[in-house]
Amino acid sequence: MPNLLELLRERPLLADGAMGTMLHARGVAFDRSFDELNLTQPAAVAEIHRAYLDAGAQLIVTNTFGANRFKLAQHGLERKVGEINAAAVAIARRAIDAAGRAARGPLLLAGDVGPLGVRLAPFGRVKPEQAYAAFLQQITALVEAGADCLLIETIPDLYEMVEAVRAATAVGAVPVIASMTFTRDDRTLLGDSPAKVAAALAQSGAQVIGVNCSGGPAQALRILDTFRRVAPQAKLLAKPNAGWPEHVGGRIMYPAAPDYFGEYAAAFVEAGASIVGGCCGTTPAYTAAMRATTDTSGPLRPFG
């Protein structure tokens, strides 16, 4: 099994892009559970993984962003947490195994853990121990199914991130990536600054910390610079949206084009990122642009 931290000591890695954007483009409505598709439409999920691998991604993220008991309960699926997460890992692993025969080096599978979709005390009704239990349930399923590492991403609340990383640490076995999201004013939803977030994440027990989703490459680069100053020894991730989403003619559009996005990939690595990739609005075209840009500039050489 490839080891994330050993690989990052050699060179940065290119992660994939959005799963939800791709599923929606294939006709899946936003009010459906994308995570349930691991059971009902596994071929569709596998095709997206393969597209990102073909575009040059080295780190593939499972289709489990909302596969926790709170979010699944909105669709009557709370009893299928283990089944859905295990299926997602199996789908991604098959895609990696197939691509690996032609790959020039190791490919990794990250178990994706998104926010619970509820407010934690003191700002909401969910107690920290309830959040911890929900994260522990999902993370246990992902690790037992064979994830190489965990990506805890798009968390808007440091209280929630602490519980997620605590659960991941309790499970152990694989490296943990902890990534927060920020609003337009470079603050978390609860008003925490990038400096405060960086300091907290660096002490959380996660092996890689970073920023994802948020407003796009320019904002992610600003926040990444702060992370580097506050936590100079930390390994960093940058996985931004393709800009702030805009509603145009009843559709959600993202303003950052693949070429623009690709140019930022080299900037992320120069700023200290160990993992770069895309979030909402990005597609395999964005991954290919990042691959081309970073291969040309040198910091993300292909394995081999």
* Per-residue pLDDT tens listing for the chain (304 residues): 679 999 999 889 999 999 998 999 899 988 899 999 999 999 999 999 999 999 999 999 999 999 999 999 999 999 999 999 999 999 999 999 999 766 667 899 999 999 999 999 888 899 999 999 999 999 999 999 999 999 999 999 999 999 999 999 999 999 999 999 999 999 999 999 999 999 999 999 999 999 999 788 999 999 999 999 999 999 999 999 886 666 555 556 555 678 888 888 999 999 999 999 999 989 999 999 999 887 765 544 443 3
Regarding beta strands 108-113 and 149-155, do their DSSP bridges make them parallel or antiparallel, or are they unpaired?
parallel
> Could you tell me if 98 and 49 are in contact, meaning their C-beta atoms sit under 8 angstroms apart?
no
Q: Which tokens sit at 151?
A: 């990506």
Q: State how far the Cα of 157 lies from the Cα of 69, in Å rounded to an integer.
A: 18
Please list the residues that pair with 212 across neighbouring strands: 239
Domains of the chain with CATH codes: 4-297 (3.20.20.330)
Handedness of CA 66, 284, 212, 149 (dihedral sign): positive
Which residues lie closer than 8 Å to 258 by C-beta, 6 or more apart? 283, 285, 286, 288, 289
CA dist 273 → 115, 132, 174, 185, 293 (Å): 23, 28, 20, 22, 15
Burial annotation 153-192 (CB, 10 A radius, 16+ → b, else e): bbbbbbbbbbbbbbbbeebeebbbbbbbbbeeeeebbeeb
Q: For helices 158-171 and 128-145, what crossing angle results, to 10°?
A: 40
- Give CA–CA dist 114/250, Å, rounded: 26
Phi and psi at residue 177, to the nearest 5°: -105, 125
